[in-house]
A = this chain, B = another copy of it.
Amino acid sequence: MKSQAVFFHAGCPVCVEAEHSVLSALDRSRYDVEVVHLGTDKRKLPDAERLGVKSVPALALDGHVFHINFGASLSDLK
């Protein structure tokens, strides 16, 4: 069974760079990757907050959240 990777972003330049580099460097043979745009899909904000996402871009690997650099605070997306 593959592990779960969720990349939260908001289309910001910092997010795009992280998506192009960090997300594309993941081993897709071991990880199912989901990309969530919190700027356009605001219904996902509560899920992200529950997971511990404070800012974007963020990468959740098996439920552990890693904030990658800083693009925008979650509160700015509401």
A interface with B by C-beta (< 8 Å): 3, 5, 17-18, 21-22, 25-31, 59, 61-62, 64, 66-69
Q: Looking at the assembled complex, report how far the CB atom of A20 sits from the nearest CB atom of chain B, in whole angstroms.
A: 9
Chain B positions within 8 Å of A61 at CB level = 21-22, 25
- What is the total number of copies of this protein in its complex? 2
Interface centre among A17, A28, A64, by most chain B C-beta atoms within 10 angstroms, is A64
B64 pairs with A21, CB closer than 8 A: yes
**How far apart sit A59 and B69, CA to CA, in the bound complex (Å)?**
10
B64 pairs with A67, CB closer than 8 A: no
**How far apart sit A2 and B69, CA to CA, in the bound complex (Å)?**
24
**How far apart sit A43 and B51, CA to CA, in the bound complex (Å)?**
38
